Chain A
Amino acid sequence: MKFYICIKMVPDVYAPLQIKEGELIMDADRMVLNAYDASAVEEALVLKEKHGGEVEVVCIGPAKASETIRKALAMGADKATHILATGDEEYDSASYAKILSAFFKDKEYDVIGLGKQSQDTDSGLTGSMVAEHLSLPYTTNAVGLEVENGNLVVKRQGDSGQEMIELPTPCAVTCSNDMNDPRIPNLKGIMASKRKPIDQVEISSLGIDETELQADTKVTSYEEKPARQAGKKYEGEAEEVAREVAQLLDTEANVL
């Protein structure tokens, strides 16, 4: 099977951040491979190991995103396409979905894999947008993938239970990090990644009208969350504090 996995470089949510006059200030160097995309890469690698095929990653991002791409190659992806952005564009999920769809339009593949959401924005829109643009069968929030008789069988986490869905190929699927633990690249993988091809593509070469990429949504400012005051810590003899807090939940917090 030929897999294309869409990977995104995102800010590390653990990096310290600050908000000044509505602007978000954080270390632009602390970027990582989106955790959900890492799970998508991992699953594609496992399926390739079982059934054969090829795993190619695609990333839209500035020059620095080549580090993110290397990481996926070091995990074991065969090759990569880097669709170059400057990083100053104010793209939203819809813009990225249009670029990805334009890229995939004349490609051959069995499965387009994406993350179920970007871990910094939690939007979760790009996957089903790409599927709709390309008229592909798709499913989202996959927690397990199998290949059976050339079809993709997806276990997805629904609202109350899990659904087993069979998709004919070509298809698209968005992946949860509940699917697996992505492998950590070893030294051999890292060395090998340096010899793997990264194809660089300009957005302008994809035949999309640039005005169409203008985002409909715009982040106008950032703000702190209304802070939750840390309450009181009760330490001491287990039996005593347990009873004391239970009492307080009744008399003080009124939640029993």
Chain B
Amino acid sequence: MRRIYILALILILASLLFFTFYDLIQPKEFIDDKAQISEYYIEHGVKETGAINLVTAILFDYRAFDTLGEATVIFIAVSAISLLATKERVLVSDTNFSPIVYQGISFIIPFLYILAFYLIFYGHLSPGGGFTGGVVIATTFVLLKMTFGIRYSKEEKSLQRRSLIESIGALGFILVGILGIIMGDNFLANEGAGFHLGIAGQLLSAGVIPILNLFTGVKVGSGLAIIFHRLVREE
């Protein structure tokens, strides 16, 4: 009985969505009335922000407030998991792989770090940005933990250090924004706050965007690593 109700509901929803999308992609009469914000970004984005990757320009310059909110969501997830997970002792567990695995992973790790920092620092020139770089950093931690096992004795200290690093990342973001206010302009301003825009296309350009990328990458990386550690120690 319940099954029939649910199937009926889903069929109604599917047909509703079907007709909606049919309407949505037809050419419309009022197409001149649509506000053309994306056109504005495409035309003026490079000049005003100095970044040639437009998605990064939107994420860290035009709509940097949303990115601040998103960084806050990750912070909340990390705090919540540290709050709710228990601090039980876990036995020292060793893993038992063949030497090829150990050697191979130890060889790859530095290159993974280079990849992560490349993604972070070149965020305004090619696809990437703070978030993808941060995820790669977290992946290196996960990889190390999975191959070399979990040891409890050094866990607490390193977790505390990582929480501090994460807070530094978050605070750095806000302080850069406040710098804009101190320089007499609005929050999270780029050119107005006196950052050099530089020549588009070079590494040292786009004002405040590489700095924000760095802080975000640090924050996301350490946050996801903390989440992995807490979850893996749960029974």
Q: Do A and B come from one complex?
A: no
* Residue positions of B touching A, CB distance < 8 A: none
* Residue positions of A touching B, CB distance < 8 A: none
